[in-house]
């Protein structure tokens, strides 16, 4: 948490001990309720250890379900001091208590909400300056928040040298290694084994949906942009998914519950990937948390026979929406620029380009949890309450 001294949100005004729980009235008018067993289980004293470090002696099995609070008071530091009926004592800082309040209001405040977008972003995409992000963590945090909220951000004035790619991606976190290595070079190859190395138009898609955990935060570093064509196309999968849910709830339900199989067989390289998972991954409230879809890699369905046609109909409808240019934002990325995007939310494509051998793009990835970790550390440093935000788990299953 950032500086909270004097903030009524983090000032305990009154306490009321009910034995099995304690209520806390805050100076801003909010009231929180904390169960005795919950407080005991989250104790972070020297004797119990901390869940943050994993160095922890306390076990839930050692705590009676009916444990009660014997005494509750506010200590000289403004923290909640507790003595349980088993004699254990501990204190809980006010900012930590408020950040973990389980009331409907506070849980809603902590929940992240995406900025859904479509064609209206054309010509005004979220962007940042590379030099500013490297020299100022406040600017870097803004860049990462745009990436979090919109699912993509264009970083201008990045180095043009190919060797700089691994350093550029660290704005979002450490490199991830896939079957393409840590960094992959996209250049025009008429005999390409990878579709992206051709100069053809690419329809919007997610990369590597055939993996248990597809790449999430992706960076396209343009060492040399194409002289003609080759503009990137971005589509908000969350926005299109919500449109599908409104227009055809049954199609959305099928794509959020029935698995589609994606394949990638590279037998000469000794690799054979296959993943069965729904197109949409939902969180505990039914909101879209991730998407995995690549029409070129979606193979034979492995579902009950009576679901084959309904699933294919639902896929056809979704893909028609994703391929519809009314949902596209075209981003003409130039040489020395980097396009960061969340591959588990934003589908990407490309316009065709002239096969003149000039286009040179390098791509690499950061794990979603590493990106979140980077974001939280910067938010903590900058005193932003975003450090406590609950972020979506991505395209799990």
pLDDT tens digits for 212-245? 999 999 999 999 988 888 899 999 999 999 999 9
Report pLDDT for 321: 98
Report pLDDT for 359: 84
Q: How far apart are CA 228 and CA 357, in angstroms?
A: 11
Q: Residues 377, 381, 385, CA angle at the centre, nearest 5°?
A: 80
DSSP letters of 251-272?
Answer: HHHHHHHS-EEEEEEEGGGTEE
Instruction: Convert the pLDDT of each residue in 324-352 to its tens digit.
Output: 999 999 999 999 999 999 999 999 999 88
Q: How far apart are CA 316 and CA 310, in angstroms?
A: 10
Phi, psi for residue 66 in degrees, rounded to 5:
-100, 20
Report pLDDT for 197: 67
Lateral strand order in the sheet of 69-74:
69-74, 80-84, 89-92
Q: Are 144 and 374 in contact (CB under 8 A)?
A: yes
Give me the percent of the chain exceeding a pLDDT of 70: 95
If residue 172 lies in a helix (H) or strand (E), which one and from where to where?
none
Instruction: Convert the pLDDT of each residue in 240-297 to its tens digit.
Output: 999 999 999 999 999 999 999 999 888 777 889 999 999 999 999 999 999 999 999 9
Write down the pTM of the prediction.
0.93
The encoded tokens of residue 290 equal 């991730």
Report pLDDT for 391: 96
Q: How far apart are CA 214 and CA 210, in angstroms?
A: 7
Q: How far apart are CA 282 and CA 343, in angstroms?
A: 16
Over residues 291-313, mean pLDDT = 96
Report pLDDT for 1: 47
**CB within 8 Å of 226: residues ≥ 6 apart:** 353, 354, 356, 358, 359
Domains and CATH numbers, the chain: 8-108 (3.30.2020.30), 119-388 (3.60.130.10)
For the chain, how far is it from start to end, CA to CA, in angstroms? Answer: 32
Instruction: Convert the pLDDT of each residue in 15-40 to its tens digit.
Output: 999 999 999 999 999 999 999 999 99
């Amino acid at each position: 948490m950032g500086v909270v001294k004097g903030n009524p949100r983090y000032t305990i005004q009154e306490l009321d001990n009910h034995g099995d729980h304690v209520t806390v009235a805050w100076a801003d008018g909010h009231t929180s309720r904390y169960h005795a067993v919950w407080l005991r289980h989250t104790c972070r004293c020297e004797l119990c250890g901390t869940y943050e470090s994993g160095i922890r002696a306390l076990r839930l099995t050692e705590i009676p379900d009916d444990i009660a609070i014997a005494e509750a008071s506010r200590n000289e530091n403004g923290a909640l001091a507790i003595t349980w009926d088993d004699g254990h004592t501990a204190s809980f800082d006010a900012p930590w208590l408020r950040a973990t309040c389980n009331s409907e209001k506070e849980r809603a405040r902590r929940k992240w909400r995406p900025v859904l977008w479509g064609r209206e972003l054309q010509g005004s995409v979220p962007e940042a300056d590379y030099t500013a992000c490297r020299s100022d963590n406040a600017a870097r945090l803004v860049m990462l928040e745009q990436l979090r909220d919109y699912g993509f951000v264009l970083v201008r004035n990045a180095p043009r040298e190919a060797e700089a790619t691994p350093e550029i991606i660290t704005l979002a976190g450490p490199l991830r290694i896939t079957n393409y290595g840590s960094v992959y070079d996209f250049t025009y190859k008429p005999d390409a084994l990878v579709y992206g190395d051709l100069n053809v138009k690419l329809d919007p898609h997610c990369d590597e949906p055939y993996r248990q955990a597809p790449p999430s935060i992706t960076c396209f570093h343009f060492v040399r942009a194409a002289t003609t064509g080759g503009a990137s196309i971005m589509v908000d999968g969350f926005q299109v998914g919500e449109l599908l849910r409104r227009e055809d709830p049954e199609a959305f339900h099928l794509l959020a519950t029935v698995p589609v199989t994606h394949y990638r067989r590279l037998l000469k390289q000794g690799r054979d990937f296959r993943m069965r998972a729904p197109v949409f991954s939902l969180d505990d409230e039914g909101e879209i948390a991730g998407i995995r879809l690549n029409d070129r890699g979606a193979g034979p369905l492995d579902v009950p026979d009576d679901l084959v046609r309904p699933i294919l109909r639902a896929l056809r409808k979704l893909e028609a929406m994703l391929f519809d240019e009314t949902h596209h934002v075209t981003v003409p990325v130039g040489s020395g620029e980097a396009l960061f995007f969340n591959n588990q939310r934003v589908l990407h494509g490309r316009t065709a380009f002239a096969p003149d051998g000039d286009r040179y793009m390098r791509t690499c990835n950061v794990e979603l949890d590493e990106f979140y970790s980077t974001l939280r550390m910067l938010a903590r440093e900058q005193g932003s309450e975003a450090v406590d935000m609950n972020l979506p788990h991505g395209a799990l299953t």
